[in-house]
Structure 1
Amino acid sequence: MVHIVGAGPGDPELITVKGRRYLEEADVVIYAGSLVNPALLAVCREDAVIHNSAKMTLDEVIAVIEEAEAAGKMTVRLHTGDPAIYGAIQEQMDAMAKKGIAYDVVPGVSSFLAAAAALRQEYTLPGISQTVIITRQPGRTPVPEREQLRALAAHQSTMCIFLSITMLETVVAELIAGGYAEDTPIAIVQKASWPEQKIVRGTLATIVAKVEGAQIDRTAMIVVSHCLGADYELSRLYAPEFSHMFRKASR
């Protein structure tokens, strides 16, 4: 069995209990290079064979897995955050399925959630935003035309933008072109949950200048939302005049 494990956003304590157990038991670990905090590998057995997939092709990754399976060894494929989001795992799962290799997936804490924790911010505030869009600016990997930032910006919802910090100026231009006002709050969270975590806050009009010189060039989440520092309506869930199946209204 091959276990595809979400390593979480970086803090070694933010991996799931199941994911940590699989790491402790693994004979072979293939981890996603510099994106995975190497501190996570400290729980691996001393005799575990560890591969850095940053230096490997898809065929090489599958070859290592296939060899381990033939030898009756257990493999962990360790991905950052939650592997379902920009994890490039579908092609690996399909390749394993074609070869008859059994696998499962252990979800993890995504960096967009760790960023919310770092910002001490709820993304879905009543009366402000009830939708979170996870997306990216086109780079080497294209984005469908209907999913371009300027199209998504029309929703005026909370947006968590991955893999785009090196194109921040273009990101800001696209968001403004799509309808966000220049005074819309924005936050950049680099390496959320890592010891070297860094946060820069501003507006669409000011954020590019604020990030200059901050040495933020990768592994950073861009959060755009009116939720950041906005006045909002209180949730009805805890309102004293609101009844539901677990509580009667008190007034």
Structure 2
Amino acid sequence: MIHIVGAGSGAADLITLRGARLLRAADVVVWAGSLVNPELLAECKESCVVYDSAHMTLEEVLDVMCAADARGEEVVRLHTGDPCLYGAIQEQMDALDARGVDYEVVPGVSSFCGAAAALRQEYTLPGISQSVVITRLSGRTSMPAGEGMRTMAESGSTMVIFLSSGMLAELSAELLAAGRSSDEPAALVYKATWPEERVVRCTVGTLADAGAREGIDRTALVVVGRVLGARGGLAHDGAQAESYERSKLYDPSFATGYRKASS
């Protein structure tokens, strides 16, 4: 069996219990060395053979995993965050299907969840935003038709933008062209949940300046949305914040299948 495991967003103890158990039992681990916390390799047994996929092609990764599987060994393919987001796992799964090799996927904590934790922020506030757009800016690899940044930004939803912290001036320009306000709250979250984690709050109009000032041009998520400025009282800078609506889930005047409404 080949286990495709999400390593979590950075902190070594954010891997799932299942992922950690599989890592301890693995005979072969192929890990994304440029992205995954190396502390996780301490879970591996002494006899485990470890390969860093940062230096490998897809074909080399598949050859290592399939050879180990053919020998009856347990294989862990360790990806950053949750492998369903920008993890390039579909091509691996399709190739394994074609070779008749069995596998499973073990979810992980995505960095977009880690960023929310670092920001102490809910992405979906009633009356402000009930949708989250996860996307990236077109760069060395292009975006599909209809998924350009302007199109994705036009809804006004909360946005979590991957793989774009090295193009902040361009990102800011695209967001403004989509109709987002230059004063709309934004944040850079560098290495969410890692020991080096940093949060830089700014606006859509000051994204590039904030990144240059803080020296952030990689390994960071960009979060954009009115939710970042919405609070029950004051904003982070002490200014009056935009108010969100109280959740109906715990509103005493709102009946649910478990609780009657009261006046």
Question: 2:62 aligns to what SS in structure 1?
Answer: helix
Unaligned runs of 5+ in 2: 231-242
1:44-65 CA-partner distances (Å, limit 9, x unpaired)? 1011000000000011001101
Question: 2:73 aligns to what SS in structure 1?
Answer: coil
Letter in 1 for 2:255: S
Per the alignment, residue 236 of structure 2 pairs with: none
TM-score w.r.t. length of structure 1: 0.98
Letter in 2 for 1:234: R
* Aligned equivalents of 1:64, 1:70: Cα separation in 2: 10
* Aligned equivalents of 2:144, 2:28: Cα separation in 1: 37
Per the alignment, residue 239 of structure 1 pairs with: 251
Return the offset for 1:214: 1.4
* Aligned equivalents of 1:91, 1:145: Cα separation in 2: 21
Higher mean C-alpha deviation, range 185-194 or range 206-215: 206-215
* Aligned equivalents of 2:88, 2:251: Cα separation in 1: 43
Per the alignment, residue 262 of structure 2 pairs with: 250
Matches within 5 A, 1:62-81: 62-81=62-81
Unaligned runs of 5+ in 1: none
* Aligned equivalents of 1:141, 1:87: Cα separation in 2: 14
1:125-144 CA-partner distances (Å, limit 9, x unpaired)? 00100000000001122102
The alignment of Structure 1 onto Structure 2 pairs a total of residues equal to 251
Seq. identity, %: 58
* Aligned equivalents of 1:140, 1:11: Cα separation in 2: 29
* Aligned equivalents of 1:184, 1:235: Cα separation in 2: 23
Instruction: Answer yes or no: is 1:26 the counterpart of 2:38.
Output: no
* Aligned equivalents of 1:32, 1:169: Cα separation in 2: 29
1:11-36 CA-partner distances (Å, limit 9, x unpaired)? 11111110010000000000011200
Return the offset for 1:74: 0.6
* Aligned equivalents of 1:170, 1:94: Cα separation in 2: 35
Instruction: Answer yes or no: is 1:131 the counterpart of 2:143.
Output: no
Letter in 2 for 1:87: G
Per the alignment, residue 46 of structure 2 pairs with: 46
Per the alignment, residue 145 of structure 2 pairs with: 145
* Aligned equivalents of 1:240, 1:126: Cα separation in 2: 16
Question: 1:125 aligns to what SS in structure 2?
Answer: coil
Matches within 5 A, 1:1-251: 1-230=1-230, 231-251=243-263
1:71-101 CA-partner distances (Å, limit 9, x unpaired)? 1111000000000000000111111111111
* Aligned equivalents of 1:73, 1:137: Cα separation in 2: 40
2:168/2:211 contact within 8 Å kept? no
Letter in 2 for 1:239: D
2:186/2:203 contact within 8 Å kept? yes
TM-score w.r.t. length of structure 2: 0.94
Return the offset for 1:240: 1.2
Question: 1:189 aligns to what SS in structure 2?
Answer: strand
Return the offset for 1:215: 2.3
1:103-124 CA-partner distances (Å, limit 9, x unpaired)? 0000111000110010000000
Question: 1:201 aligns to what SS in structure 2?
Answer: strand
Per the alignment, residue 234 of structure 2 pairs with: none
* Aligned equivalents of 1:75, 1:50: Cα separation in 2: 10
Question: 1:126 aligns to what SS in structure 2?
Answer: coil
Higher mean C-alpha deviation, range 109-118 or range 145-154: 145-154
Question: 1:61 aligns to what SS in structure 2?
Answer: helix
Letter in 2 for 1:243: A
Return the offset for 1:191: 0.5
2:10/2:194 contact within 8 Å kept? yes
